[in-house]
Amino acid sequence: MKAVLTVVGKDAVGILAKVSTECAKYNVNILDVSQSILQDMFCMIMIGDVDKLNIPFGDFSDAMAKLGKEIGMDVHVMHEDLFNSMHRI
Amino acid sequence: MLETRDILETISMIQDENLDIRTVTMGISLLDCIDSDIDKACARVYEKITTKAKNLVPVCEEIEKELGIPIINKRISVTPIAMIAAACRSKEVVKFAITLEKAAREVGVNFIGGYSALVQKGFAAGDKELIESIPEALSVTDHICSSVNIGSTKTGLNMDAIAMMGNVVRKASELTADRQCIGAAKLVVFCNAPEDNPFMAGAFHGPGEPDCVINVGVSGPGVVRAALARPEAQGLDLSGVADLIKRTAFKITRMGQLVAQRASQRLGVQFGIIDLSLAPTPAVGDSVAHILEEIGLESVGACGTTACLAMLNDAVKKGGVMASSHVGGLSGAFIPVTEDAGMIDAARSGALTIEKLEAMTAVCSVGLDMINIPGDTPAEVISAIIADEAAIGMVNSKTTAVRVIPAIGLKVGEELNFGGLLGSGPVMPVSKYSPLKFISRGGRIPAPLQSLKN
């Protein structure tokens, strides 16, 4: 089972480090990362394996959103099924 | 493999374009709660609803978090209460409304629909009592929605019921005049009412439905408008516009299908239908009127509105049908005036009139919806509005409905403000000429021919 994490906000030092540390804390294995910086807007998409997640998915999603608030970024966690069902026939 | 472009598209649909699941509605049959003692029946109704729907809200909240999609409303629809009340010796039917309200509060749903009667051909035991009790039921409760089916293509129109409903709508408004006449906003009069509609105020759980079922209503006018507003859509001809709407509706509906499957699996309840609807909200960027304007009208209500709406409605269905395993409910574009920022503006400026709205209802999913009319509109005029609208539904084999709110004490141009999803809007003018003799005749309008179609 995979989750899609998106992180959007003003670029700063250590965003990737903070987000991936939080993922490691909940036992999420990061499979793929794509990031781009447009002017000074930072936009990152991570795909994480959540099979061995050590807390319920909803709590993980809340924890990431909370982290986002702390570091001044918009962080969203969504299940990959959503994207597969919307964009694949 | 997931593509960045697809991920970003989905995220901007949800964050910027107000894409959401409008409602997950659990339909619950109350047929096994019937008892000749009304108190016993009420106790059973309460027990059944609070057992079946115990996990509805938590499960929906769990799915919301998991998929990252807002589910705006969690609702319940029940068997038309007139059928349950028919067996009771007591005529205090309002007791059922109070029971439903208590159950709705207990399980935490936003609305419970089904304080309803199906009288398209005539009144059975319990129907008249229930209809007469609607204004009181809506004034003493907050979460109850009520509907009455007064006609169908197969049976024609029950004009006695239509005459009655004019008074009921007025009274529902009068009893809640101190609360922006909210009573009438929770009451809808149908022709060809669907039995599996998840949307309020018209949701009820039809007698042909299973014991318990999950129906889902999707939304997404903002997403369709945003797709049409992109630079690459500007040069499209109308075939291209229809295709773009179809593609967008497909994606919206797939999301609804995913949520419906998860909800039904986790609740252990059969999946019923997806209602393929574009349901607006008063929020900026979530308006069906703005889609029509994006297609090329200066304002909704202009000549060409009916044609644009017909195309939009059809394209939404064509796109949605392939995305879902079962489609039902109302399915189409809703045009409620007070719930749609673009409609509100057009009604205020006079670009949109009730007559134009009536024409639009011939090609859209429902009918004259959330329209404020002058507080001094006589009951027979309301009945005649219902008769006109029902005739359109009856002849065209489609669902039509009327939800008008007589704004007690207010005149044309003054405004009612319901708050929340129900929105606000100006009082619109209604024809001053009297249909009194027509409405007082009573009887039935016979069912129309289904051939020789012209």
Domain that holds residue B75: 29-191
**pLDDT over 80 (residue B453):** no
Domain that holds residue A20: 2-87
Q: Is B3 part of a structural domain of the chain?
A: no
Residue B389, CB half-sphere, CA atoms under 13 Å: how many? 34
Is the distance from CB of B120 to CB of B155 less than 8 angstroms?
yes
B251/A87 CB distance under 8 A: yes
Q: How many A/B residue pairs have CB atoms within 8 Å?
A: 61
- CATH label of the domain that carries residue B153: 3.20.70.20
Helix (H) or strand (E) holding A40: none
A61/B65 CB distance under 8 A: yes
**CA separation, residue B55 to residues B60, B107, B142, B196, B268 (Å):** 8, 8, 21, 21, 10
Higher pLDDT, B401 or B452: B401
For testing contact with chain B, the best of A1, A73, A86, A88 (most B CBs within 10 A): A86
Q: Is B198 part of a structural domain of the chain?
A: no
If DSSP codes are grouped into helix, strand and coil, which group holds residue A44? strand
Calculate mean pLDDT across residues B133-145: 96
Task: Judge if B44 and B158 occupy the same domain.
Answer: yes
B251/A57 CB distance under 8 A: no
B7/A86 CB distance under 8 A: no
DSSP string, B202-218: S----TTS-SEEEEEEE
**pLDDT over 70 (residue B307):** yes
- CATH label of the domain that carries residue A73: 3.30.70.260
Token duo for residue B94: 């309002």
Domain total of chain A: 1
**pLDDT over 80 (residue B407):** yes
- The predicted structure's pLDDT at residue B366: 85
Give chain A's mean pLDDT: 90
pLDDT, tens digit, 9 for 90 and up, residues B160-186: 999 999 999 999 999 999 999 999 999
**CA separation, residue B185 to residues A48, B142, B201, B353 (Å):** 46, 11, 8, 19
Instruction: Name the residue among A45, A62, A78 with its Cβ closest to that of B67.
Output: A78
**pLDDT over 70 (residue B279):** yes
Shortest distance, CA B84 to any CA of chain A (angstroms): 40
> How many CB atoms are closer than 10 A to CB B440?
11
For testing contact with chain B, the best of A83, A84, A88, A89 (most B CBs within 10 A): A83
A82/B257 CB distance under 8 A: no
Task: Judge if B222 and B148 occupy the same domain.
Answer: no
Contact list in B for residue A83 (CB cut-off 8 A) is 2, 6-7, 10
A86/B251 CB distance under 8 A: yes
Shortest distance, CA A78 to any CA of chain B (angstroms): 5
**pLDDT over 80 (residue B190):** yes
Task: Judge if B253 and B346 occupy the same domain.
Answer: yes
Task: Judge if B272 and B373 occupy the same domain.
Answer: yes
Strand partners, B427: B372
Task: Judge if B168 and B236 occupy the same domain.
Answer: no
State whether residue A41 sits within 8 Å of chain B by CB: no
Calculate mean pLDDT across residues B317-330: 92
pLDDT, tens digit, 9 for 90 and up, residues B216-274: 999 889 999 999 999 999 999 999 999 999 999 999 999 999 999 999 999 999 999 99
**pLDDT over 80 (residue B428):** yes
Task: Judge if B323 and B376 occupy the same domain.
Answer: yes
Q: Is B212 part of a structural domain of the chain?
A: no
Shortest distance, CA B240 to any CA of chain A (angstroms): 20
Give chain B's mean pLDDT: 94
Task: Judge if B166 and B247 occupy the same domain.
Answer: no
Shortest distance, CA B6 to any CA of chain A (angstroms): 7
Q: How confident is the model at residue B348 (pLDDT cuts 50, 70, 90)?
A: very high
* Percentage of chain A modeled with pLDDT above 70: 100
Token duo for residue B214: 């999950």
Calculate mean pLDDT across residues B381-399: 96
Residues A49, A61: Cα–Cα separation, whole Å: 14
**pLDDT over 80 (residue B211):** yes
State whether residue B65 sits within 8 Å of chain A by CB: yes
Domain total of chain B: 2
pLDDT, tens digit, 9 for 90 and up, residues A19-74: 999 999 999 999 999 988 877 788 899 999 999 999 999 899 999 999 999 999 98
- The predicted structure's pLDDT at residue B42: 96
Q: How confident is the model at residue B1 (pLDDT cuts 50, 70, 90)?
A: low
Contact list in B for residue A61 (CB cut-off 8 A) is 65-66, 68
Q: Is B1 part of a structural domain of the chain?
A: no
State whether residue B246 sits within 8 Å of chain A by CB: no
Task: Judge if B113 and B248 occupy the same domain.
Answer: no
Torsion (CA) A21, A23, A25, A29 in degrees, nearest 10: -110
Phi, psi of B407 (to 5 degrees): -85, 90
State whether residue A55 sits within 8 Å of chain B by CB: no
Contact list in B for residue A85 (CB cut-off 8 A) is 254-255, 257-258
State whether residue A78 sits within 8 Å of chain B by CB: yes
Chain B: residue whose CA lies nearest to A63: B65
pTM, entire model: 0.91
Contact list in A for residue B7 (CB cut-off 8 A) is 4, 6, 45, 83
Task: Judge if B141 and B227 occupy the same domain.
Answer: no
Calculate mean pLDDT across residues B43-51: 97
- The predicted structure's pLDDT at residue B165: 97
- The predicted structure's pLDDT at residue B356: 96
